[in-house]
Amino acid sequence: MSVSGHGFPRDRRLTKASEFQNVFAQATKSSDAYFTVLARGNALDGPRLGLALSKRYLKLAVDRNRIKRLTREAFRHMQYDLGGLDFVVMAKTAVIQANNETLQRSLRHHWSRLLKQCEPSWLPSSSSTAT
């Protein structure tokens, strides 16, 4: 399925427990006061996003839904720069008091950091470029 515009089609989501477990098993981690973001390279041509928002930290559905909406929006706008990585975003309790701009800035920072730390599947490996 081709992605037009800044959509968020099903093939850009982690939907199965096994996909989440794959990221949790060998993840590169980025964390701050608001989020913990895990990333791992995938064998696909684009990034995928999974959300793991706990009722333990975000007790109200309105808070969980706000963070889901905000995270998906930030992902949609950066998905073409994120390569072949799977991301799992987990929120911390401080996320409730933060404004949307602060949270989007935090997510952009996590994705940039993880993109540098992980080797996305679409980048050529350094061993294949050496002659």
Contact predicate 52/89, CB 8 Å: yes
Tens of pLDDT, residue by residue over 94-125, are 999 999 999 999 999 999 999 888 865 444 44
Helical axes 100-117 vs 61-78, angle rounded to 10°: 50
pTM score of the predicted model: 0.83
DSSP, res 60: S
Q: Go through the domains of the chain in sequence order and give each one's CATH number.
A: 10-119 (3.30.230.10)
Given a cut of 80, whether residue 126 has pLDDT beyond it is: no
